[in-house]
Amino acid sequence: MAQRPFVVGLTGNIATGKSTVLRYLAEQGAYVIDADQLTHQAMAPDGPAYAAIVETFGRDVVRPDGAIDRPSLGRIVFANPAALQQLEQIVHPAVFALATAELATVDAPVVVIEAIKLLEARSLVRLCDEIWVVTSTVETQLRRLRGQRGMDEATAQQRMAAQSPQADKVRQANRVISNDGTPEALFAQLDVIWAELTTALGQRHPETASVQRDTEAIQI
């Protein structure tokens, strides 16, 4: 019988660098479940959250092709905390169901569930063995949002303010990954964390020790 994978919940506020961390872990052999992709599935016309979103927010958030207009929906919910809460109450249970179904099909030793609202949703946390939080300073987040995503200052501040405080996430973390420096500094942290994790898994289940041997180095 296959061993249950070790599940890492990866989270952090906007523009902290979660995608870079996720790419690293995938290159090491971790199976990735991207909650944002599952959200897209849930909100698709044939998805489990679609009808409730249209009923709650109206046809104005529907494009001519029938798909949800995510930018229009985003403008509504990020300007209104109550509307954001309504949306999350619709989407989070659907994403949990999709993640649970996908996890049941995985035979990799390590699975990473990446979700910006991992801790706020709570349901996905039940699937995780550890919580990893990626952090950055407010100044770094603003610089990335403006430089890499082209947001103006007001929009960037609004998106950041819509999220729970970074300190709240850190208090719930098993591991904290600081990402204010160079990519090399980030990868050095991740090398240590990955080595510790795969060593621990090898001790728990000797048959998984080959994961560390096969994925010890990363090409940068």
Say if residue 7 is in the same domain as residue 86. no
Tell me the C-alpha distance between 200 and 13, whole Å.
Answer: 28
What is the Cα–Cα distance from 80 to 73, expressed in whole angstroms? 11
Looking at residue 217, what DSSP letter applies? -
Give pLDDT, residue 206: 53
86-117 residue pLDDT tens: 999 999 999 999 999 999 999 999 999 999 99
Whether the pLDDT of residue 219 is over 50: the answer is no
Same domain, 136 and 183: yes
**Are residues 217 and 141 part of one domain?**
yes
In contact, 124 and 19? CB cutoff 8 Å: no
125 or 203, higher pLDDT: 125
22, 49: one domain: no
Q: What is the pLDDT of residue 133?
A: 98
The pLDDT value recorded for residue 208 is 43
pLDDT in tens, 46-102: 999 999 999 999 999 999 999 999 999 999 998 899 999 999 999 999 999 999 999
Which of 53, 83, 107 is where one domain is finished? 107
Are 68 and 122 part of one and the same domain? Answer: no
Could you tell me if 92 and 125 lie in one domain?
Answer: no
Closest CA to 177 of 204, 200, 196: 196
- Do 98 and 132 lie in one domain? The reply is no
Identify the domain boundary among 85, 107, 129. 107
- What pLDDT, on the 0 to 100 scale, is given for residue 217? 33
* pLDDT above 80 (res 205): no
Whole domain around residue 97: which residue ranges?
37-107
Continuous H helices in 2-152: 18-27, 35-43, 50-57, 70-77, 81-103, 118-121, 138-148
Looking at the fold, whether 23 and 128 belong to one and the same domain comes out as yes
pLDDT of residue 203: 74
What's the structural domain count of the chain? 2
Domain CATH code at residue 100: 3.40.50.300
Looking at the structure, tell me whether residues 209 and 116 fall in a common domain: yes
